[in-house]
């Protein structure tokens, strides 16, 4: 297999997850090589290079200098939310395919700009959405397509932490999460993409009609932590909404970083003939993102996605069936033996590398940029509805959406100016 040469922009926590996946895939013979990395924090950059054996001459504070190289096959963007559109468009403008972290952007307008940049620059793009690359999602999508649930009418998308505001309650995460200019939004954009995108994808990308939403930043804070974290303005810790889609489908959305409650419930899909409950939705990258003998980045246990199927049989008897969907358990291991080609659909990065190599095409890959953009559209609806105090139609969301992505970034070596298209409402 031909060597694929990779460059990484941003050497924070999520870049280590990318590197872990690359290392684990290489053990399976995928021939991936990280040849360069860029990070504005020089100390962090040098430590990162030392950890992964990247020579100092291949480390750059200014990623624009790195993009002048001619020995790079693709670039992975591991910066924060409101820099995704800025940096990823710059990568594609420089002539490189781009794999960018979630969320696609901090606004629908910027997600649309990034989506359109694929065609403008003639480059491939993928967005990290680990929840849609595993048997849980694939089985649910197949069951719905086969009519096992009947007519779908209600969906619930749920994400919950008892107390886990990254950069605030969880100081080992970057403070950029709670920076209103860099992180911009809280759990709805940060973790909501995993749950909302999964639901949209398994439902076959239903067409959004309207959204009613509410956001809050009123969970407990403390002046001492505010001072330590340089918290200057609140980033919401709760986002809820109700979305209506064509075909008389409604989805209620719940995402929090912190709330005084323990049991919020699970994501589920309800249809006329049956329902599916989604337990342990993957938002950490699956087994490929776990270092050998180590823990997933950010702590916690490896998630084991499961489905519970509820229905009624021909004798009008209710039944409940547990479906094992974990890649590390019997079902996942057997699936790899019987259908090894499905491994390409069980990991974000492996699918991306397979797409770059031509093993997968535009028709056979999962179109993560489109899914991420539609997720941003719904999330933007929650934000706008909260600001206006009323529901908003999809046409209003597209009309009122504004580009907020960073265009001028102050760095230790000067200002980086990002030049990307203005958002033009559809």
Distance set, CA 92 to CA 28, 98, 131, 302 (Å): 29, 7, 25, 33
Residue 137: helix, strand or coil by DSSP?
A: helix
pLDDT tens for residues 22-70? 999 999 999 999 999 999 999 999 999 999 999 999 999 999 999 999 9
166-202 as b/e: b if 16+ CB within 10 A: bbbbbeebbbbbbbbebbbbbbbbbbbbbbbbbbbbb
Q: Encoding tokens for residue 184?
A: 């911009």
Question: Domain 131-343+364-370 - what CATH class?
Answer: alpha beta
With beta carbons less than 8 A apart as the criterion, state whether 210 and 391 touch. Answer: yes
Cβ-based neighbours of 25, under 8 Å, separated by 6 or more: 32, 288, 347, 349, 350, 353
- The rounded percent of the chain whose pLDDT value lies above 90 is 89
Averaged pLDDT, 383-407: 98
Same fold, 4-129 and 131-343+364-370: no
What sign does the CA torsion over 303, 179, 129, 358 have? negative
Percentages helix, strand, coil for the chain (3-state, rounded to 5) are 35, 25, 40
- The predicted model scores a pTM of 0.97
Q: What would the mean pLDDT of 206-234 be, rounded to a whole number?
A: 94
Task: Work out the pLDDT band at 299, boundaries 50, 70, 90.
Answer: low
Domains of the chain, residue spans: 4-129, 131-343+364-370
pLDDT digits (tens, 9 = 90+) for 365-374: 999 999 999 9
Rounded CA gap, 204 and 84, in Å? 26
Mean pLDDT, the chain, rounded, equals 95
Q: Which CATH number fits domain 4-129: 3.90.45.10, 3.40.50.720, 3.40.640.10, 3.50.50.60?
A: 3.40.50.720
Of 234, 209, 255, 232, nearest to 398 by C-alpha is 209
- Which residue carries 């600001």 as its tokens? 387
Structure confidence by residue, pLDDT tens digits, 339-382: 999 999 999 999 999 999 999 999 999 999 999 999 999 999 99
């Amino acid at each position: 297999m031909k060597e694929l040469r990779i460059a990484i922009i941003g050497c924070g926590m999520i870049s280590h997850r990318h590197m872990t996946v690359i290392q684990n895939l290489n053990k399976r013979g995928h021939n991936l090589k990280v040849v360069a990395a860029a990070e504005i924090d020089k100390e962090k950059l040098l430590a990162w290079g030392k950890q992964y054996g990247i020579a100092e001459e291949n480390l750059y504070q200014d990623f624009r200098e790195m993009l002048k190289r001619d020995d790079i096959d693709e670039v992975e963007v591991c910066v924060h939310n409101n820099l995704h559109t800025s940096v990823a468009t710059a990568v594609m403008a420089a002539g490189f395919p781009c794999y960018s972290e979630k969320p696609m952007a901090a606004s629908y307008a910027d997600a649309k700009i990034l989506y359109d940049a694929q065609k403008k620059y003639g480059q491939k793009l993928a967005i990290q959405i680990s929840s849609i690359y595993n048997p849980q999602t694939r089985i649910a999508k197949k069951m719905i397509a086969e009519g096992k649930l009947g007519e779908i009418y209600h969906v619930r998308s749920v994400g919950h932490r008892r107390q886990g505001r990254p950069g605030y309650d969880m100081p080992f995460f970057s403070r950029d999460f709670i920076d209103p200019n860099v992180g911009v939004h809280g759990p709805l954009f940060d973790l909501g993409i995993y749950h909302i995108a999964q639901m949209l994808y398994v439902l076959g990308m239903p067409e959004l009609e309207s959204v009613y939403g509410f956001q809050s930043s009123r969970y407990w804070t403390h002046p001492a932590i505010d001072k330590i974290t340089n918290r200057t303005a609140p980033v919401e810790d709760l986002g809820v909404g109700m979305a209506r889609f064509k075909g008389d489908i409604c989805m209620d959305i719940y995402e929090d970083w912190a709330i005084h409650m323990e049991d919020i419930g699970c994501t589920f899909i309800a249809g006329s003939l049956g329902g599916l409950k989604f337990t342990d939705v993957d938002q950490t990258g699956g087994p490929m993102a776990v270092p050998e003998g180590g823990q997933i980045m950010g702590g916690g246990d490896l998630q084991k996605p499961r489905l519970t199927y509820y229905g009624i049989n021909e004798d009008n008897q209710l039944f409940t069936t547990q479906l094992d969907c974990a890649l590390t358990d019997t079902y996942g291991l057997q699936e790899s033996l019987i259908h090894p080609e499905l491994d390409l659909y069980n990991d974000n990065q492996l699918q991306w590398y397979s797409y770059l190599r031509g093993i997968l095409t535009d028709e056979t890959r999962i179109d993560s940029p489109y899914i991420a953009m539609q997720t941003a559209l719904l999330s933007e609806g929650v934000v706008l509805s909260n600001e206006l105090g009323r529901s908003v139609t999809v046409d209003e969301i597209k009309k009122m959406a504004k580009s907020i992505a960073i265009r001028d970034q102050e760095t230790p070596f000067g200002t980086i100016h990002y030049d990307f298209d203005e958002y033009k409402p559809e």
